[in-house]
Amino acid sequence: MEIRYNAGEIITAMVTPFNEDLTIDYPALERLINHLIETGSDAVLVAGTTGETPTLSHQEEAEMFYFVKKIVNGRIKVIMGAGSNSTQTAVESSVKAKELGADAILTVVPYYNKPSQKGMYEHFSEIAKSVDLPIILYNIPGRTGVNMLPLTIAKLADEFKNIAAVKQSNSDLDLISDIKMMCPEDFIVYSGDDSLTLPMMSLGAHGVISVASHVAGNTMKEMISAFKSGQIEEAQKLHIKLYPLFRKLFMAPNPVPVKAALAHLGLINEYVRKPLVVLDETEKEELFSVLDNVL
């Protein structure tokens, strides 16, 4: 079966490495990109929530995207985060992503202002009409305060061919069945939670937009490949192996733990911009114990 847009099975929602003065650390970013390509990422998402976009300026986002695109050099796909709780800003960001050469955009359900289902439909319709790029919708009720219903997703997918996928960060797995049942066959679902990747794939999800793939990409790739080749028990074993890490990477607000894990592996520094704060030493010991055991 063909799908509207295939960014691969593992899209890493990439962190933004910082220097001690909290400027973007471009040498670390280059190391990170190459590490992700070498460990199974099929695409990277630049300027998503994991990249600390609430604290990045639009100029920083554009400069970072340009750098990432240059370093990737066609080896994998590069997706741009282009969401906002203002429809006009989201449209402008989407047009800018097109100008920068994004392969696709990820755009989140408007947060804080809690739109109705009709408001969400109008918001994403405006974006879809404004830009000729594959669009991945991002439904994350825990951060936005509202849940985009499967019927709304299906209506958008029916009307706009460039709305290609949804990143579903909702633990209610019945919603995956509803989305698969209501949406066109070529519309795809990505898990937005690492720990739900395998359960969601059992219901028809294509893959994951991941945080854990920063540090465990190869094992996650093995799990997905095992499942898709019918080695269900092997996929379950790999899921159970990874599960403690999936949980620990959210022991504090994302991306604080994954940045600590990447620093532990010598890839970047752990610095985050306020209001986020780094893990304390006790938390680091807990995280590193699990990380070292999994790896």
Q: Which residues are catalytic?
A: 138, 167
CB 71 within 8 A of CB 34: yes
Residues paired with 278 in a beta bridge: none
Which candidate, 122, 69, 129, places its Cα nearest to that of 97?
A: 69
3-class DSSP assignment, residue 36: helix
Cα separation, 48 vs 1, in Å, equals 29
Residue 158, CA distances (Å) to 23, 116, 164, 267 in order: 42, 19, 10, 42
- The residues near 210 (Cβ < 8 Å, ≥ 6 apart) are 10, 11, 12, 13, 194, 197, 217, 220
- Partners of 163 in the β-ladder: 135
Q: Give dist(CA 287, CA 41) in Å, integer.
A: 22
* Residue 142, H or E segment: helix 141-144
Pairing of β 207-210 and β 104-108 = unpaired
Using DSSP bridges, classify how beta strands 188-191 and 104-108 pair: parallel, antiparallel or unpaired: unpaired
Q: How far apart are CA 118 and CA 213, in angstroms?
A: 35
The DSSP call for residue 24 is B
Cβ(227)–Cβ(198) under 8 Å?
yes
Q: What is the rounded distance in angstroms from the CA atom of residue 83 to the CA atom of residue 123?
A: 10
Q: Is 164 helix (H, G, I), strand (E, B) or coil?
A: strand
